[in-house]
Chains A and B, each alone.
Chain A
């Protein structure tokens, strides 16, 4: 497996995933993927539909228990429990927006503060000065984040009543509320128009400038190549290439994977070679995914993929 690590990394490693593999029955959605992210970096994760990007995210954040492999945050191996991952310092957004629809914008962000506050039931019932101070501090911090994402004027709206672009922003604000060292964004611009996409780009840069590393999945290539210091390409669950935007853009295998043209030594072939007939439908899925991507072509940037 070719890996071209080009970034000079004097900084600390934030995320280190080693040999992450995820199997669903006969289907191997993620196969032996390594990935590191260092402080101050924006790393992109691209790949055709069904490549396993979201599954990989789920493995990183503990929503799935990886079949093999480990995920370490700043040197400590993370248990596959989502709440512990968030507590350790990795927060995420979802491809299909998962806000708390019937809570207000402010409450959504306050829920994000959960791991950084510790007032339990008793202090809520007794309402001592400590509780009030903690609530006030949480609210202040949440309002800062809403200002940062440009949602402060909507604090008392229900999340479900926000326009789509703002829902995506709110998800980012909610994730930031847990004071992460690494933010995982799953298709943050899906369904956005070009202006919104540009605004999101600015937002991601601003997040990086706060000292938070970002790992972002996206189908919008212009967005990815503008933004990322490094890009990893996932095809059929395997990491095909990793490198700077230029390296990845110039790599013929990436183009081939997106266009669906088979080539010498493609992971598809290896997969077919080693996997039995029982898995053949999985490979079909993969081909269907790539064909779809080919239809959309490079111009299909910024649209939701399904």
Chain B
């Protein structure tokens, strides 16, 4: 490993740096119990002495993590689990997270309220503490890429842009080498790791969803904190431990994840957050369905949201709404769900059958067209410009609430001390559907049919030469994806009380639309289960919480995608395959193998020869 070095960013003696980091973290922690500003006008009310609030809580958590990680550097054994890599990188990243949150808060207070006067002494103490801990942590010996090992892109050679490139690479932090675990840990340790990890996930997610919609500042602080903490845990190897434990205990992890999700409504006193929760679930489930088409089979579908719309309209038409064309008809929910699925399936086959014979970009164009045709058709089938079916732009409203086993999902129900409102009820229903889609995805992908999807994605010619009927297999993927979207659509129609053509477009400022769905898959990680779920949650929450972005949302969204594709093309959660595809680091979890002596020469010439073949 000659491409990395262990050097500090800020030249400081290692011991001084460590003491500074610890002291800074302690000062920051203490400061969160002080008042940071004099007025409660700043979101989250940071005026109270004695207990932290809003951004102070986020600061407290990141600073505490920095402190713990810094303490692992003093050779204390008990904390080692937090930082299996024994590197200082996690400390530095956590410290940078603390610094980012505190200074963002301080600047936001000054900007929002008009001047530094608005900072209380607590705010200054926090800023100084965070600066000390960040400086100290950057003075620790860090695992970094050497200056020469970094690739200089063409644009960076222009004098005007060179500083930008240098700035982007000042830290040059590299993921520290991870010691291979000598043996698989005891099962109970794995189970504990999974439980703790998922519980933490629930807490973090719940906190994010619970931030005040009008307090964008708190949410931005939250994003800074989770991003840097996640990278810190990634560098420390703790995330690897967690993912390894989940791959060893897949069933347990899945069950616990659903239990955690089911606990979510109980943590919310406010039905508005449950509404957010159910919409996130719908969006995430649809993204997972799209992942079958895009992630597994490699078919670029740019009109996928139309299948969600078909399901939603089908369910609305048979819901018994007075605005429905068939207002007398009211199917029980199971029948409505099947109708929605069947309608989407039919459309999936109708669109897929002629187009899936095409390869590559043609399919993208045709699906894009279909998506728009759906919206326009639905817009016009109002009885004047077309047949009377969908009630045109007004859509079908006043969709009655569902009754499942005589249980009206529209009413609030009380369980002990918990009251579950309408959206919480739908949340549970949708969670059941999400579980079904997760099960379908995992089972299908890990089978003969799933392997043939992946084979088609990898090399369609070779796949057909291996006996795979490409058209048939692609059609199955396309139709399955469509019907899963239709299923989610049926719930969506009821949750939102109404359906109208507006959300079912290619790109819009708010999810769901085809571009956002695709972005959720790509951002989260193609071909994985948790990737699209995470990607969809982020893409739903960010526009929801950052209301001030409203007009610039698509711009921000585009920028974020460009940055993502530049720095992490495999998505947040990398499929092991894709990780290897984009970062040629060799096998991740397979012991090094001595290549056979007689195959070495062949290997050396391989890449050229392969490319040159006829």
**Option from B444, B468, B470, B577 in Cβ contact (under 8 Å) with A103:** B577
Say yes or no for A69: interface residue by CB 8 A criterion: no
Q: Could you tell me which residues of chain A, from 100 to 135, have a CB within 8 Å of some CB in chain B?
A: 100-103, 107, 110-115, 117, 119-121, 123-125, 127, 131, 134-135
**Which residues from B are CB-within-8-Å of A112?**
466-467
Known A92-B465, A114-B468; contact A163-B602, beta-carbon cutoff 8 A:
yes
Question: Are A178 and B467 interface neighbours, CB within 8 A?
Answer: yes
**Which residues from A are CB-within-8-Å of B605?**
164, 191, 304
Say yes or no for A23: interface residue by CB 8 A criterion: no
Question: Are B465 and A82 interface neighbours, CB within 8 A?
Answer: yes
**Which residues from A are CB-within-8-Å of B590?**
156-157
Say yes or no for A161: interface residue by CB 8 A criterion: yes
Say yes or no for B476: interface residue by CB 8 A criterion: yes
Question: Are A87 and B602 interface neighbours, CB within 8 A?
Answer: no
Say yes or no for B610: interface residue by CB 8 A criterion: yes
Cα–Cα distance between A245 and B468 once the two chains are bound (Å): 36
Question: Are B602 and A164 interface neighbours, CB within 8 A?
Answer: yes
Cα–Cα distance between A100 and B587 once the two chains are bound (Å): 16
A153 to chain B: closest residue by CB? B593
Cα–Cα distance between A97 and B462 once the two chains are bound (Å): 9
Of B22-30, B272-280, B402-410, B449-457, the one with at least 4 CB within 8 A of chain A? B449-457
Question: Are B599 and A100 interface neighbours, CB within 8 A?
Answer: no
**Which residues from B are CB-within-8-Å of A61?**
465
Cα–Cα distance between A167 and B603 once the two chains are bound (Å): 9
Question: Are B601 and A193 interface neighbours, CB within 8 A?
Answer: yes
**Which residues from A are CB-within-8-Å of B609?**
164, 190-191, 304
Q: Could you tell me which residues of chain A, from 213 to 232, have a CB within 8 Å of some CB in chain B?
A: none
Question: Are B603 and A114 interface neighbours, CB within 8 A?
Answer: no
Count of residues in A whose CB is under 8 Å from the partner chain: 63
Question: Are B610 and A96 interface neighbours, CB within 8 A?
Answer: yes
Question: Are B599 and A125 interface neighbours, CB within 8 A?
Answer: no
**Which residues from B are CB-within-8-Å of A195?**
598
Known A117-B448, A158-B577; contact A100-B602, beta-carbon cutoff 8 A:
no
Question: Are B464 and A83 interface neighbours, CB within 8 A?
Answer: yes
- Shortest C-beta distance, A82 to chain B (Å), equals 4
Question: Are B612 and A306 interface neighbours, CB within 8 A?
Answer: yes
Say yes or no for A144: interface residue by CB 8 A criterion: no
**Option from A87, A110, A199 in Cβ contact (under 8 Å) with B451:** A110
Say yes or no for B580: interface residue by CB 8 A criterion: yes
Question: Are B587 and A163 interface neighbours, CB within 8 A?
Answer: no
- Shortest C-beta distance, B464 to chain A (Å), equals 4
A161 to chain B: closest residue by CB? B587
**Option from A96, A125, A163, A175 in Cβ contact (under 8 Å) with B600:** A163
A88 to chain B: closest residue by CB? B467
Question: Are A124 and B465 interface neighbours, CB within 8 A?
Answer: no
Cα–Cα distance between A149 and B31 once the two chains are bound (Å): 66
Cα–Cα distance between A61 and B462 once the two chains are bound (Å): 11
Indicate the size class of the contact surface on chain B: 35 or more
**Which residues from B are CB-within-8-Å of A94?**
462, 465, 613
Say yes or no for B359: interface residue by CB 8 A criterion: no
Question: Are A120 and B449 interface neighbours, CB within 8 A?
Answer: yes
**Which residues from A are CB-within-8-Å of B464?**
63, 81-83
Say yes or no for B480: interface residue by CB 8 A criterion: yes
Question: Are A121 and B449 interface neighbours, CB within 8 A?
Answer: yes
A159 to chain B: closest residue by CB? B458
B469 to chain A: closest residue by CB? A83
Say yes or no for B578: interface residue by CB 8 A criterion: yes
**Option from B448, B468, B580, B586 in Cβ contact (under 8 Å) with A119:** B448
Q: Which residue, of B448, B458, B606, has the highest number of chain A Cβ atoms within 10 A? A: B448
Cα–Cα distance between A165 and B458 once the two chains are bound (Å): 20
**Which residues from A are CB-within-8-Å of B384?**
none
Known A158-B577, A190-B609, A304-B613; contact A165-B603, beta-carbon cutoff 8 A:
yes
Cα–Cα distance between A156 and B587 once the two chains are bound (Å): 10
**Which residues from A are CB-within-8-Å of B470?**
83
Question: Are B602 and A174 interface neighbours, CB within 8 A?
Answer: no
Cα–Cα distance between A125 and B465 once the two chains are bound (Å): 26
**Which residues from A are CB-within-8-Å of B600?**
163
Known A54-B614, A124-B444, A306-B612; contact A165-B602, beta-carbon cutoff 8 A:
yes
Question: Can you identify 26 A-B contacts, CB atoms within 8 angstroms?
Answer: A61-B465, A82-B461, A82-B464, A94-B465, A94-B613, A95-B614, A96-B610, A97-B613, A103-B455, A103-B577, A107-B451, A110-B451, A111-B468, A112-B466, A114-B448, A120-B448, A124-B446, A131-B447, A134-B448, A135-B447, A157-B590, A158-B580, A161-B587, A163-B595, A165-B603, A193-B598
A164-B605, A196-B599 given. 12 additional CB < 8 A pairs?
A: A81-B464, A83-B467, A96-B610, A100-B463, A101-B581, A107-B451, A131-B447, A135-B448, A166-B599, A191-B606, A192-B602, A304-B612
Which 6 A-B residue pairings sit nearest by Cβ, starting from the closest?
A96-B613, A164-B606, A163-B603, A124-B447, A115-B467, A86-B467
- Give B residues with C-beta under 8 Å from A: 439-440, 443-444, 446-452, 454-455, 458-459, 461-470, 476, 480, 577-578, 580-581, 586-587, 590, 593, 595-596, 598-603, 605-606, 609-614
- Give A residues with C-beta under 8 Å from B: 54, 61, 63, 81-83, 86-87, 91-92, 94-103, 107, 110-115, 117, 119-121, 123-125, 127, 131, 134-135, 138, 153-154, 156-158, 160-161, 163-167, 174-175, 178, 190-193, 195-196, 199, 304, 306
